[in-house]
Amino acid sequence: MNEFMNNLYNAIGAEVTGYHNDNAFHGTITYTRVKYGSDISVHVEDGNNIYVIDGTALYEGEDATYKNLHVYFN
């Protein structure tokens, strides 16, 4: 998980796919920041929306509002 978080922090421009409240999206990471503790907050833009996703949700592939998450590192 540590290696994933290190890669994620430097993943500006990487693509992310998944479902937010059962709506599919395909966007690009535009911003990352370290959260208190050991998590990272990621902003994913798809042209219409900005999704704020925790790094742990991306690592696990889901959380309460996101499902089937995938990160495609460059």
**What is the tens place of the pLDDT at every residue in 11-65?**
999 999 999 999 999 999 999 999 988 899 999 999 999 999 999 999 999 999 9
Region of residue 41 (left: phi > 0; alpha: psi -120 to 50; beta: else):
beta
pTM value?
0.92
The DSSP bridge pattern shows strands 15-20 and 66-72 to be antiparallel
Range of the domain at 58: 2-72
- Contact of 62 with 68, CB cutoff 8 Å: yes
Within the chain, residue ranges assigned H as helices are 2-9, 55-60
H or E, element range at 6: helix 2-9
**Residue scoring higher pLDDT (23 or 74):** 23
Number of domains in the chain: 1
- Contact of 45 with 52, CB cutoff 8 Å: no
